């Protein structure tokens, strides 16, 4: 359960209003409202004050935060994996759309986005070279080989990122392990 919902549930069980809880914790009523609605994550000190005011053990919130962190990390890894999978075809639009939709919600999305985009641009450049070779020689092997390597690297990166491992970066991007 989200921390804000847990706080709201405990507050209601105690028969307290948001204003009463705010007064006991020396936090503004607006902050209590924002915490309960999940708009902000309370600091540890604020959680301690809320736990004291609600007469519950602080570890209840700490355990809840650890559970939320694990769920959030799995969700982040899933979205980052999808981002890397979008690199399977050298089409920039799906990658751009995914980044725009998730950049504020998924940690490290911008770093992975830069890596995927630089990879796609590199593939596009090499693909143009392969098309030139095909135009001059009618040999399709370089194009098929390039698309196969691209697919393999994209799938490998997807699996690695979804498992929380380092991904294979292109020479033009940096690979920073997700924290």
The answer to whether residue 178 scores a pLDDT higher than 50 is no
CATH class of the structural domain 3-56: mainly alpha
- Rounded average pLDDT over 108-126: 82
The answer to whether residue 45 scores a pLDDT higher than 90 is no
Q: Write the CB contacts of 9 (distance below 8 Å, at least 6 apart in sequence).
A: 1
Q: What is the pTM of this model?
A: 0.48
How many angstroms separate the CA atoms of 154 and 83, rounded? 9
Structural contact between residues 46 and 25, judged by C-beta atoms closer than 8 angstroms: yes
Q: Which helix (H) or strand (E) holds 111?
A: helix 109-137
Q: What is the distance in angstroms between the CA of the first residue and the CA of the last residue of the chain?
A: 23
Residue of 138 and 159 predicted with greater confidence: 159
Domain boundaries, given as residue ranges, for the chain: 3-56, 73-162
């Amino acid at each position: 359960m989200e921390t804000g919902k847990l706080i709201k549930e405990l507050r209601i069980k105690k028969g307290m209003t948001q204003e009463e809880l705010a007064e006991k914790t020396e936090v503004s009523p607006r902050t209590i409202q924002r915490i309960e609605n999940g708009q902000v994550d309370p600091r540890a000190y604020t959680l301690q004050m809320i736990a004291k005011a609600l007469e519950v053990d602080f570890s209840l919130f700490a355990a809840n935060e650890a559970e939320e962190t694990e769920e959030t990390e799995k969700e982040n890894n899933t979205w980052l994996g999808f981002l890397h999978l979008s690199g399977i075809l050298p089409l920039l639009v799906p990658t751009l759309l995914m980044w725009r939709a998730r950049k504020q919600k998924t940690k490290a999305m911008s770093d992975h986005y830069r890596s995927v985009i630089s990879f796609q641009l590199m593939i596009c450049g090499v693909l143009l070279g392969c098309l030139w070779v095909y135009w001059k020689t009618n040999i399709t092997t370089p194009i098929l080989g390039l698309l196969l390597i691209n697919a393999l690297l994209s799938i490998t990166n997807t699996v690695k990122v979804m498992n929380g491992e380092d991904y294979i970066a292109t020479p033009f991007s940096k690979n920073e392990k997700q924290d």
